[in-house]
């Protein structure tokens, strides 16, 4: 059994246990802790291996889902990644970077599956986009409504590169920028600006979704469907009609 | 207010909203965690791990993207002086493999599947050639009988 020391007052294993996975509060993994777990596992300590799975299965899964794989395909890639990790655990050079190694391997294996299926691998840059005029209000409304489905729908509508990045930014335990950069095969300095762009994309998608929910079927004539509608607009009645 | 000038905490708040939504919707399935733990049982000690150095579906750009046609996938593994080539053909929902291991390892090879299938013994001739038919698809590796050589896992 691996002995792990952490600073006083910080619970070594925070939070609850669900589905056999230890979930942590937002804390960055301690590199020494990771190094010890990898060393112990490489020496044959199965408990250490189980702890590594607990620490990093969310990361691996997040990368795979961010690549756009689901169901059995996603499960197969996950298993491939963990089998590769077993193979390589006594060969890793920077053992404290096990998270980055797993993330990179997961992405690589995802691409292998996508390429075999003839699917596009997206590595394009994220286009610049201005956020909504009142971006805080969009988030305020979201927090107030506590509607998680809306967030997920919006996430599915932004560039894939953004979906990958934002998923990695929400992984538990929190990843370092170095790990995220390794996972996405980008320079560290790419992350900050792209994160800002991606959040603007997300805000816009949220705004559109909120707009759809507010109007949608309630105003079927809001489009340019009929001549009457256009006449109203041309004669300045459009505001009246929209109310 | 333009989002470009939005305070940093606005970004952090949105990330937090996203994190909570994903934590609920995208929890790692229990069977996926169980499989990750079980990967440990495939641990090998003092193996000579032959790395997958060529995969025609990845490395041959003109083949990537071609689907439907009955294609043969070529894989190469290597470590030290060992070299192992494998051709995988799809035969409906089964797979056929033809390969060569150099230098020839005449005691033979064993095909192992990560799904826990019984290992399959493959005869190797004097030139190092071997073959197998009607294999279940899945994650497999080849191991030299009685030797340290083992390939990386690969999905066939």
Residue B38 distance to chain A (closest CA, Å): 9
Check pLDDT > 60 for residue B67.
no
Question: Best interface-test mutation with A: which of B2, B4, B17 has the largest number of A CBs within 10 A?
Answer: B17
Based on the fold, state whether residues B55 and B132 are members of the same structural domain. Answer: yes
A142 and A84 in a common domain: no
B79 and B130, same domain (yes or no): yes
- Does one domain contain both A95 and A167? no
Residue A25 lies in a domain: yes
E-strand ranges in chain B read: 48-55, 72-79, 82-91, 94-102, 109-113, 120-122, 129-135, 139-144, 149-151, 154-155
Cβ within 8 Å, pair A60-B58: no
Is A59 a member of any domain?
A: yes
Which of A151, A162, A202 is best to mutate for the B interface (most B CBs within 10 A)? Answer: A151
Which pLDDT belongs to residue A123? 65
> Does A110 lie in the same domain as A24?
yes
pTM above 0.80, yes or no: no
| pLDDT over 70 (residue B58) | yes
- Domain with residue A207: its CATH number is 1.10.10.10
Would you say residue A127 lies in a domain? no
Q: Which two tokens stand for residue A175?
A: 């990843």
Question: B23 with B98, same domain?
Answer: no
CB atoms within 10 A of CB A201: 24
Terminal-residue alpha carbon distance, chain B: 54
Q: Are residues B35 and B62 in the same domain?
A: no
Q: Residue A107: give the domain boundaries.
A: 17-116
- Do B98 and B65 fall within a single domain? yes
Closest-CA distance, A20 to chain B, in angstroms, reads 7
With CB atoms and an 8 Å threshold, state whether A86 touches B18: no
Using an 8 Å CB-CB cutoff, list chain A residues near B11.
195-196, 199
Residues A100 and A166 in one domain: no
Please check whether residue A239 lies inside any domain of the structure. Answer: no
Q: What is the pLDDT of residue A174?
A: 81
Q: Sort out which chain A residues have CB atoms less than 8 A from B93's CB and list them.
A: none
Residues B96, B81 within the same domain = yes
* B34 neighbourhood in chain A, CB within 8 Å: 20
- Per-residue confidence (pLDDT) for residue A111, from 0 to 100: 86
What's the rounded Cα separation, in Å, for the pair B111 and B119?
A: 6
Same domain? A100 vs A164: no
Structure-token match 């927090």, residue found? A143
Q: What are the tens digits of pLDDT across the range A65-83? A: 888 888 888 999 999 999 9
Predicted pLDDT of residue B104 = 93
**How far is residue B98's CA from residue B94's CA, in Å, rounded to a whole number?**
14
Question: What kind and span of H or E run contains A17?
Answer: strand A17-18
The answer on B119 and B66 residing in a single domain is yes
Give the Cα-Cα-Cα angle B20, B21, B23 (nearest 5 degrees): 60
Given this model, what pLDDT does residue B37 score? 96
Does residue A7 fall inside a structural domain?
Answer: no
Report strand pairing: B154-155 vs B48-55: unpaired
- The angle at the Cα of A23, spanning A19 to A27, to the nearest 5 degrees, equals 170
| Residues of A whose CB is below 8 A from B139 | 76, 79-80, 83
Query: B51 and B106, same structural domain?
Result: yes
Segment A127-172, tens digit of pLDDT: 788 777 776 777 777 777 777 888 888 998 998 889 989 999 998 7
Q: Is the ipTM above a cut-off of 0.90?
A: no
> Is residue A93 domain-shared with residue A146, that is, in the same domain?
no
Q: Taking residues A33-46, what's their average pLDDT?
A: 93
Q: CA A30 to CA B72: how far, in whole Å?
A: 45
Domain annotation covers residue A179:
yes
A184 has pLDDT over 80: yes
The yes-or-no verdict on residue B151 having pLDDT over 50 is yes
Range of lowest pLDDT (A112-126, A185-199, A219-233, B134-148): A219-233
B60 in the same domain as B19:
no
On average, the pLDDT of chain B sits at 86
Q: What is the pLDDT of residue A45?
A: 95
Contact yes or no for B11 and A195 at CB 8 A? yes
Of A182, A46, A162, A33, the residue nearest A107 (C-alpha) = A182
Handedness of CA B122, B125, B128, B132 (dihedral sign): negative
**Strand B154-155 versus strand A21-22 pairing type:** unpaired
- Average pLDDT estimate for A59-67: 89
Can you give the pLDDT at residue A16?
37
Write out the residue range of the structural domain in which residue B133 sits: 46-155
Shared domain for B28 and B62, answered yes or no, is no
**Residue A76 covered by a domain:** yes
Question: How many independent structural domains does chain B possess?
Answer: 2
The verdict on B35 and B67 lying in the same domain is no
Q: Indicate which of B18, B34, B138 best probes the interface with A, i.e. most A CBs within 10 Å of its own CB.
A: B18
Question: Which residue among A116, A150, A182 closes a domain?
Answer: A116
What is residue A139's predicted lDDT score, i.e. its pLDDT?
76
SS3 A22: strand
Alpha helices by DSSP H, B39-73: 56-59
B63 and B95 part of one domain: yes
- Please count the helices (runs of H) and the strands (runs of E) in chain B: 3, 10
| Contact between B154 and B111 (Cβ < 8 Å) | no
Angle between helices A31-42 and A46-66 (to 10 degrees): 120
Residue B46 sits at the chain A interface (C-beta within 8 Å): no
- Decide if B3 and A203 are in contact by the 8 Å CB cutoff: yes
Domain count, chain A: 2
Do A108 and A24 have their domain in common?
A: yes
Q: Of the candidates A47, A81, A116, which is a domain's last residue?
A: A116
Chain-centroid distance of CA B100 in Å reads 18
Same domain, A53 and A92: yes
For residue A227, tell me if it sits in a domain. no
pLDDT band for position A27 (cuts 50, 70, 90) = low
Q: What pLDDT band is residue B143 in, cutting at 50, 70 and 90? A: very high
pLDDT, one tens digit per residue, over B28-55 is 999 999 999 999 999 988 889 999 999 8
Identify the three-state secondary structure at position B101.
strand
pLDDT classification of A95: cutoffs 50, 70, 90: confident
List pLDDT tens digits, range A201-221.
Answer: 999 888 876 666 555 443 333
Which residue, A132, A173, A144, A138, is CA-closest to A22? A173
Same domain? For A62 and A107 the reply is yes
User: Could you tell me if A148 and A187 lie in one domain?
Assistant: yes
Q: Are the Cβ atoms of A166 and B25 closer than 8 angstroms? A: no
- Put simply, whether B54 touches A (Cβ < 8 Å) is no
One DSSP character per residue, A43-96 reads TT-HHHHHHHHHHHHHHHHHHHHHTT--HHHHHHHHHHHHHHHHHHTTT-SSGG
- pLDDT for B142 equals 96
**Does position A11 have pLDDT exceeding 70, yes or no?**
no
Looking at residue B139, what is its pLDDT? Answer: 93
CA distance A2 to chain B (A): 16
Q: How many CB atoms lie within 10 A of CB A17?
A: 10
pLDDT of residue B77: 97
* Average pLDDT over all residues of chain A: 75
Residue of B nearest to A60 (CA): B28
Residues A92, A150 within the same domain: no
- Return the pLDDT at A28: 63
pLDDT tens string A196-205? 999 999 998 8
Contact state of B35 with A82 under an 8 Å Cβ cutoff: yes
């Amino acid at each position: 059994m691996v002995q792990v020391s952490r600073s006083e007052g910080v619970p070594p294993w925070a939070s609850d246990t669900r589905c056999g996975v230890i979930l942590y509060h937002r804390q960055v993994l301690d590199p020494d802790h990771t190094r010890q777990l990898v060393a112990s596992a490489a020496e044959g300590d199965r408990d250490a291996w189980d702890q590594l799975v607990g620490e990093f299965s969310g990361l691996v899964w997040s990368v795979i889902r961010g690549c756009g794989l689901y169901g059995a395909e996603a499960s197969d890639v996950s298993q491939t990644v963990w089998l590769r990790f077993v193979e390589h655990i006594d060969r890793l050079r920077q053992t404290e970077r096990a998270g980055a190694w797993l993330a990179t391997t997961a992405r690589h294996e995802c691409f292998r599956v996508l390429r075999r299926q003839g699917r596009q691998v997206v590595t394009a840059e994220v286009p610049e986009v201005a956020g909504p005029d009142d971006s805080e209000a969009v988030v305020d409304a979201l927090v107030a409504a506590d509607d998680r489905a809306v967030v997920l729908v919006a996430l599915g509508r932004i560039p894939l590169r953004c979906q990958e990045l934002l998923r990695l930014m929400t992984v538990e335990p929190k990843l370092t920028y170095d790990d995220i950069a390794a996972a996405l095969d980008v320079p560290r300095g790419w992350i900050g600006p792209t994160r800002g762009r991606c959040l603007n994309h997300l805000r816009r998608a949220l705004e559109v979704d909120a707009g759809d929910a507010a109007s949608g079927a309630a105003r079927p004539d809001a489009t340019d469907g009929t001549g009457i509608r256009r006449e109203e607009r041309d004669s300045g009645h459009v505001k009246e009609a929209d109310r | 207010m333009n989002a470009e000038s939005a305070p940093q905490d606005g970004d952090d708040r949105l990330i937090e909203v996203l994190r909570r939504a994903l934590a609920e919707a995208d929890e790692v399935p229990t069977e996926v965690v169980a499989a990750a733990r079980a990967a440990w049982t495939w641990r090998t000690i003092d193996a000579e791990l032959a790395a997958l150095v060529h995969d025609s579906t990845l490395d041959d750009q003109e083949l990537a993207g071609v689907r439907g046609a009955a294609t043969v996938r070529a894989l190469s593994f290597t470590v030290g002086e060992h070299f192992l080539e494998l051709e995988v053909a799809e035969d409906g929902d089964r797979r056929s493999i033809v390969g060569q291991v150099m230098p020839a390892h005449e005691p033979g090879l064993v095909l192992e599947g990560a799904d826990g299938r019984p290992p399959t013994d493959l005869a190797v001739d004097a030139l190092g050639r071997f073959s197998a038919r009607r294999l279940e698809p899945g994650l497999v590796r080849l191991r030299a009988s009685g030797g340290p050589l083992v390939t990386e896992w690969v999905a066939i």
